[in-house]
Amino acid sequence: METLHTASVDSPIGPLFLAASAQGLVALEFDARLRGQQTIRPNPRDLRQEKEKEKKGYEFVEGPRQLQAYASELEEYFAGKRREFTFPLDLRGTDFQQSCWRALLAIPYGETRTYADIARAVGKPTAFRAVGMANNRNPIAVVVPCHRVIASDGTLCGYGGGLDIKRKLLELEGALSGTLAA
């Protein structure tokens, strides 16, 4: 069974849950998730919790020391002192999801792209809905910047942390203009 070190960190957008393997960051999740949103964490109210851990093949070990480098870079990002993250990522998903997430990582700080832009970037120009689903499954919010993806009409849409958090992240990065609306 794989061990994932975990920690919760405070941020200006609320508490964040971090999980890392020996290879890198596996998850960065908002503490308050939207209904039905995917999570790596077991539901503490779920009586099948131990079975879920076995099924997923990992166990959680509280490890704030192991996650300090991740927490420090996030703190710098939220303070406006960091534009790129340098820690390793351990992205886990389908080949298509991973190609979408790599395309997200290529969006420069302070810029936005549309779902159609990402679909073209991954060589599937008509797959903008599938790109939206891949964004929805992004396990490493903020760092894999799905908040930088907007609708083709320039409006903010679909974000696991909610549109208020998406707006705050884009404001932090200076990516919001008068044309972006909710």
Predicted pLDDT at 56: 64
Q: Which residue has the higher pLDDT, 120 or 38?
A: 120
Predicted pLDDT at 46: 47
Residue whose tokens read 């941020």: 11
Do 135 and 146 contact (CB within 8 A), yes or no? yes
Lowest mean pLDDT among 47-51, 119-123, 175-179: 47-51
Whole-angstrom distance, CA of residue 105 vs CA of residue 155: 21
* pTM (predicted TM-score): 0.86
What is the tens place of the pLDDT at every residue in 88-111? 999 999 999 999 999 999 999 999
- Average pLDDT along the chain: 87
Domains of the chain: residue spans and CATH: 2-78 (3.30.160), 95-172 (1.10.10.10)
What is the tens place of the pLDDT at every residue in 144-157? 999 999 999 999 99
What is the tens place of the pLDDT at every residue in 44-85? 444 445 444 454 688 889 988 999 999 999 999 999 999 999
Please state, in angstroms and as integers, the Cα–Cα distance from residue 82 to each residue in 32, 76, 78, 130, 161, following that order: 24, 5, 8, 30, 21
What is the average per-residue pLDDT within 14-27?
95
Give the highest mean pLDDT range of 32-41, 53-62, 68-77, 169-178: 68-77
Active site positions, annotated: 146
Whole-angstrom distance, CA of residue 75 vs CA of residue 167: 18
